[in-house]
Amino acid sequence: MRLPSSIRYQTKLVAFLLLSIGITMLAGLYSYLSIQNLMDDSVETFQKNYQLANAYREVELMQKEFETYFSTSSSDSLVAFYNHSAAVGSNIEELRKTVTYTERGIHVKNISNMMDHYLQCADDAVRAKRGRMVDNYTQGYADTVKENRYIEKMMSTDLIGSAERYAEISRNVGQITMFNNLLIAAVAIFMTVAIGFFSAEMTRPLSQLASYAQEISGGNFDVQIPENHTSREVSVLYRTFRLMAANIKEHVEELRQKQRIESALSEQKVNN
């Protein structure tokens, strides 16, 4: 499909340049947004893992001091227990602040709720121990150990889920990288084809015009030069060349007519 002759080559060049820049920018924007999305997912997963790891580490330290206090009634273990208990409570608050309504977010919320219940069980057991309520602190100790095992199991499940999430992110990175490579190749092919087409559009009418000039220089003044609407410049050039060819043909015809008249006069003089 040819463009109207009113469009100049300069306009076509500018339009082609803007189109090339637009396609390149869109390809780059897509790559940037895709990678940014994956980076956000990776950072979020890492932060959640870091928060859970800190919380679980404090739970384990708290459980250790809890068991030491129950076996030795050491005041140092009691102080350490309350310190770790406060740290666990702080970690639970941090986890709840960043909970999202996703499958992972719901799982993290369940872990934080379990840790909160664990804190209550452990604190009740310690209070019963300090109050020498044997039945209460014995049952509290058993409940606390059971809660700790539940937390450990949930952490293991979350760790497996995180590993699967990292594997999924890695697969997505590979897919996006492949897609970006294909997109770059497609853009490069498009640019090459467009440049080739645009170059051919510019050179084809000039080459055709050069062949018409050779015909005229060889004495063929009857060569038909059609109109060309590739661009305004080419259209003007063809029209001017067609007028020039017509003027040359007319001038040559005049010269030939003059030559025939002179030849006829010469023959008439010779005959007389």
Is 4's pLDDT higher than 80?
no
Instruction: List Cβ neighbours of 73 (8 Å cut-off, separation of 6 or more).
Output: 129
How does pLDDT run across 232-243, given as a tens digit for each residue? 777 788 888 888
Higher pLDDT: 202 or 72? It is 72
- How high is the pLDDT of residue 271? 67
144: its two tokens: 């606390």
Give me the count of residues in the chain: 272
Q: Is the pLDDT of residue 268 over 80?
A: no
> 66 vs 56, 152, 177, CA distance in Å?
15, 16, 51
* pLDDT higher than threshold 50 for residue 140: yes
If phi over 0 gives left and psi between -120 and 50 gives alpha, with beta otherwise, what is residue 132? Answer: left
The Cα 235–Cα 241 span in angstroms is 10
Residue type, 183: L
Tokens representing residue 248 in the block: 């040359």
pLDDT at 5 (0 to 100) = 46
Of the chain, the end-to-end C-alpha distance in Å amounts to: 68
Eight-state DSSP code of residue 230: S
Q: What's the pLDDT score for residue 1?
A: 40
DSSP tag of 4: P
pLDDT of 79: 92
Instruction: Provide the mean pLDDT of the chain.
Output: 82
CB 69 within 8 A of CB 82: no
The answer to whether residue 169 scores a pLDDT higher than 60 is yes
More confident residue, 147 or 222: 147
Q: pLDDT tens digits, residue range 50-61? A: 888 888 899 999
Q: How confident is the model at residue 264 (pLDDT cuts 50, 70, 90)?
A: confident
pLDDT tens, 177-201? Answer: 888 788 778 878 887 887 787 777 7
* Model pLDDT, residue 12: 72
Give the long-range contacts of residues 231-239, CB within 8 A, separation 24 or more: 231/3, 231/5, 231/7, 231/8, 231/9, 231/12, 232/5, 232/6, 232/7, 232/8, 233/8, 233/9, 234/5, 234/205, 234/206, 235/5, 237/205, 237/209, 238/205, 238/209
Residue 83 has what pLDDT? Answer: 93
- Of the listed ranges 146-155, 249-258, 260-269, the least confidently predicted one is 260-269
pLDDT higher than threshold 80 for residue 143: yes
Check if the beta carbon of residue 98 is closer than 8 Å to that of residue 48.
Answer: yes
Q: Does residue 92 register a pLDDT over 80?
A: yes
Judged against a pLDDT cut of 50, whether residue 135 lies above it is answered with yes
Confidence at 3, pLDDT banded by 50, 70, 90: very low
Q: In this predicted structure, which of 2-11, 100-109, 160-169, 214-223 has the lowest mean pLDDT?
A: 2-11
In the structure, what pLDDT confidence band is assigned to residue 8 with cuts at 50, 70 and 90? low
Is 90 exceeded by the pLDDT of residue 86? Answer: yes
Out of 112-121, 159-168, 259-268, give the one with best mean pLDDT. Answer: 112-121
